[in-house]
Structure 1
Amino acid sequence: MDTAPTEVRAGVSLLERAVGYALGVLPLVGEDTLARPTPCADWDLRLLLVHLLDSLDALCEAVEGQVSLDLPAARLSDAGAEQLTSAVRERCRQLVGAWSGAGRGHGTVEVDGMLLSSAIVTGTGAIEIAVHGWDLARACGAARPLPAGLAEELLELAPYFVHPTDRPGRFGAALPCEADAQAGERLLRFLGRTG
């Protein structure tokens, strides 16, 4: 019987769907795309993949209840596309397995000295993974919109997880958006990206 709180299960489900979307984009990455610019200022596709690996590592670490935000030493910064995408796939598999494990995901996670609920951590992770999946697709020249249901849920959460002090820096300034735009477009514009 699943005894995890409803909000934790919902957060893990959201995380799994974001991972599924990002994994669907990875086959677009090839050796010829690694030097391409991304919607993340100052990052090419290779650096975005390395950053995504760091984010996945932190989310895996969070399952144990504590995350350090110390920047890791650069790794795989000279790796080829196959090595980078294989590493992302493997880390995604580990992440989903860890958060889906029996008895996992309860309580709080200490992130750089601050206590956050597991649901907040998984929700934030879902935004990070899904939006960087979109960034990867965009850098590869592919139109891979965020799935509507996933985008709607992430858009609902984003204002709670993106603090004004995150701009500029982690995110660009929110961009204007048509009132009737799809949820994915509204989410991307809220995070300073143009679709």
Structure 2
Amino acid sequence: MSINLTVIKALDDRAVRESIAVVRQVNVEDLTRPTPCSAWNLGQLLAHMTAQHRGFAAAARGDGGDLTHWKAEAPGPEDVGRYVAAAEAVLAAFTEVGTEDQEFALPEFGTGAVFPAIQAIGFHLLDYVVHAWDVTRVLDLPFTADPDVLDAALPIALAVPDGARRTQPGSAFAPSLPSPTDSNALTRILMHLGRPLSWGPAVRSHGSAEMGSAWDGC
């Protein structure tokens, strides 16, 4: 598939709308559930996802360098509504991006970090493929991303550098995990980004919860 600005925006739209469909199934009582990001419960993960949408929307409007756009709100019962509103807002902002080389300031990559629109929207696409998977795992739901979306996200994922930096506090991803040679695109994405496929929702027994493996980055 040839990737240009129109294509990457359309694929991102599909990934984000899939995440909306998943998040809409979250109930208030789900917000305290653990997630594959071991430092965050589901409410905190949704707050992060919402803040990322707001930050990328600001970047599309030329104001991504303002860190206030990237700050997560405290989790609460409004998390689902806030997420849906932010998701719709970032998709609307991306429709206004007219050139592949329009600059997106993405301060989470470092002070002064700027990327062309086609690359920045690709980052956003990858984030919401992976975060939609995170939420489906918390809720024990099937993950149903379109093959075209996964095929586009895979090279973006594989381009994320591996190594010792991923073990540092605040790293976006855990160290990569070995992937079987016949793995599909989703498995390759998740394993390269350190997502343990064995992670599952809490199994409650006698008031306790036993979890699959987890990691600190997200």
**Pair 1:11-2:11 in alignment:** no
1:105–1:164: structure 2 CA closer, same or farther, 3 Å change rule? Answer: same
Q: Secondary structure at the match of 1:109?
A: strand
Secondary structure at the aligned position of 2:50 is classed as helix
Match of 2:50 in 1: 53
Residues 173-192 of structure 1: matches in 2 within 5 Å? Answer: 173-192=175-194
Distance 1:69 1:193, change over 3 A: farther
Amino-acid identity (%):
23
CA contact (8 A) 1:105 1:118 kept: yes
How large is the RMSD of aligned CA atoms in angstroms?
Answer: 2.1
SS of 2:105's equivalent in the other structure is strand
Counterpart position of 1:35: 32
TM-score in terms of structure 1 length: 0.85
Counterpart AA for 1:99 = F
**Residue number in structure 1 paired with 2:195:** 193
Q: Tell which deviates more after alignment, 60-69 or 118-127.
A: 60-69
Paired with 2:51 and 2:97, the residues of 1 have a C-alpha distance of 25
Shift of 1:69: 6.9
1:23 is aligned to 2:20: yes
Higher percent of residues as helix: 1
Aligned partner of 1:164 among 162, 165, 183: 162
Aligned pair partner of 2:93 in 95, 98, 102: 98
Name the CA distance, whole Å, in 2 between partners of 1:52 and 1:92: 9
Q: Is 1:147 the counterpart of 2:146 in the alignment? A: yes
Query: How many residue pairs are counted as aligned between the two chains?
Result: 186
Equivalent pair of 2:35/2:134 in contact (CA under 8 Å): yes
CA contact (8 A) 1:35 1:44 kept: yes
With CA pairs under 8 Å and 6+ residues apart, which has the higher RCO, 1 or 2? 1
Alpha-carbon offset, residue 34 of structure 1: 0.8
Moved more, 134-143 or 48-57: 134-143
CA shift for structure 1 position 73: 5.2
In structure 1, the gaps of 5 or more residues are 1-5
Q: State the secondary structure of the residue aligned to 2:4.
A: helix
TM-score, scaled relative to structure 2 = 0.77
Q: Deviation of residue 105 (structure 1)?
A: 6.1
Instruction: Provide the secondary structure at the position in 1 that maps to 2:67.
Output: coil
